[in-house]
Amino acid sequence: MAYSISQLELKAAAQKLPPSPQIFAKLTRLLKDRNTVSKDIVELVKTDASLTAKVLKISNSMAFSLGQPVDTLEQAVGRVGFAELFKVVGMAAASNVFARRNETYGIDGWLFWENAVATGLAMEALAKARGLDEKEAYTLGLLKTMGKTIIDACSQKFMVPPRFSAKEETPLLLWEEENLGVTNPEAAAIVLDAWNFPEGAIEALRYQYTPDEAPEKNVHAYLLALSGAIAEHLGRGTPGEKSYWTITQGRLKESGLDIKDVRAALQEVKQRLEKLSEELAA
């Protein structure tokens, strides 16, 4: 049975999410402000108790810890620094949002989180190679699958909610259009627009699967496609996406990178993700 999810429903569902993603968006703006001090970051993160706990757990993991454990946000900021704290908060925020199983797409919460973090780390590495803002790219990578989370929340109201199968022969985006009336990248773009993200970021998520179709060239859309390929190669892909993540000469050219940059990013992400996954799964 085909359904249709409206923009109003998507925006309403976004408002019911844990506050973590919106806190992360505010953190992005804080870190771009030269007048920001550590107290500003601590006070922002403290508004979400669950996020605070996860930030401390990740800060104490071997991937970030440099010595004695930290037990306060103030210590975490002093220990890992502004740039790394941004990364830690992002991982914690993604954990809050993607913690439960996504029934619509058949994705367990842990894989959902790993996919978000793998894509975020890949975006950061590729942006660095390209000379772009690493924090902005990292944020987009983490939010890549936000549309699926919102769609899943909306589809639970249906008497017989649609279910995407890994064995589905219909391409993912076409299946979404036929069964939900909206695709996950469109849903993600609607949510980011509601959260007042920049237009370039909104369009990057909208065209992450099809960067060549963007009305205006969007480098981040190409980086998202390459990052999706990295996550897929590392076994952190999600059902139905593999065919979209082809690494072509055209995509490399438009992103301003070469295959060596992608391979280097893949190795970096692999090492960091393995450390995090082992420790945080315990």
Which amino acid makes up residue 242?
K
Averaged pLDDT score across all residues of the chain: 87
- 222-248 average pLDDT score: 96
Residue 56 has pLDDT above 70, yes or no: yes
Checking if the pLDDT of 1 tops 60, the result is: no
The CATH number for 42's domain is 1.10.3210.10
Q: Which tens digits make up the pLDDT trace of 170-189? A: 899 999 999 999 999 999 99
pLDDT band for position 65 (50/70/90)?
low
What count of other Cβ atoms lies within 10 Å of the Cβ of residue 19?
Answer: 15
Q: Are 30 and 41 in contact (CB under 8 A)?
A: yes
For residues 139-146, give the mean pLDDT: 90
**Does residue 2 form part of some domain?**
no
Location of structure tokens 């590392």:
234
The answer to whether residue 21 sits within a structural domain is yes
Residue 64 confidence (pLDDT):
65
Cα–Cα dist 26/17, whole Å: 15
Domain hosting residue 200, numbered range? 7-280
Instruction: Transcribe 110-155 into DSSP letters.
Output: HHHHHHHHHHHHHHHHHHHHHTS-HHHHHHHHHTTTHHHHHHHHHH
pLDDT band per the 50, 70, 90 thresholds, residue 234: very high
Rounded-to-integer distance, Cα 165 and Cα 196, Å: 33
Which residues pair with residue 107 across a beta bridge?
102
Which pLDDT score, from 0 to 100, does residue 55 have? 79
Residue-level pLDDT at 274 = 82
Residue 276, pLDDT above cutoff 80: no
How far apart CA 193 and CA 203 sit, in angstroms, is 10
Residue 253, amino acid: K
Q: Is residue 232 part of a domain?
A: yes
pLDDT band of residue 245 (cuts 50, 70, 90) is very high
The tally of domains found in the chain comes to: 1
**Please, which residues have CB within 8 angstroms of residue 256's CB and are 6 or more apart in sequence?**
130, 219
Which amino acid, 162?
P
What's the DSSP call for residue 171? -
Which whole number is the average pLDDT over 29-43? 79
Please give the Cα distance from 152 to 13 (Å, whole number): 9
User: Do residues 42 and 70 touch, judged by C-beta distance below 8 A?
Assistant: no
pLDDT at residue 225, as a whole number: 98
Please, are residues 48 and 23 in contact by the beta-carbon 8 Å criterion? Answer: yes
What letter represents residue 225's amino acid?
A: A
What is the reported pLDDT for 36? 80
Residue 72 has pLDDT above 90, yes or no: no
